[in-house]
Amino acid sequence: MLYSEKVMDHFTNPRNMGKMEDADGIGQVGNAKCGDIMKMYIKVKDGVIEDVKFNTFGCGSAIASSSMATEMIKGKPVEEALKLSNQAVVEALDGLPANKIHCSVLAEEAVQAAVEDYYKKQAEK
């Protein structure tokens, strides 16, 4: 198979998929021209990511990477979420094809963008 079982599982049954109306932080990365956009929503309470949602326009591995990333940061302190690396996502997915590694990078960036947005909004408060 093109993808590992883990990837196919997260692709066909994505976790935390959907929008979030009252997000504390929203990050969107990628662009439609390149075929991948990820949008990540986080809800933070006491410095911990209480809830997370994502929306993705992209291929199977983009969707699976988003899904896996949300699972990996849910319940974690925001600082820890910031440290999420794309390698960690790839490993958690039992690997990605070489030409799909950029999807995991996008997931890492989406998390970072959401956290940064959260920080910004906190600062504005």
Binding footprint of other proteins on the chain (CB under 8 A):
1-2, 8, 11-12, 14, 17-19, 28, 32-39, 55-60, 62-63, 99-100
Residue that is written with structure tokens 């929008």 in the block: 19
In this structure, what are the phi and psi dihedrals at residue 82, rounded to the nearest 5 degrees? -60, -25
Is 59 one of the annotated active-site residues of the chain?
no
Please say which residue, 34 or 122, places its beta carbon nearer to other proteins.
34
User: 17-33: b or e for each residue (b if 16 or more CB lie within 10 Å)?
Assistant: eeebeebbbbbbbbeee
Shortest CB 78 distance to other proteins, Å = 22
**Residue of 2, 5, 31, 34 marked active site:** 34
Positions annotated as catalytic residues are: 34, 103
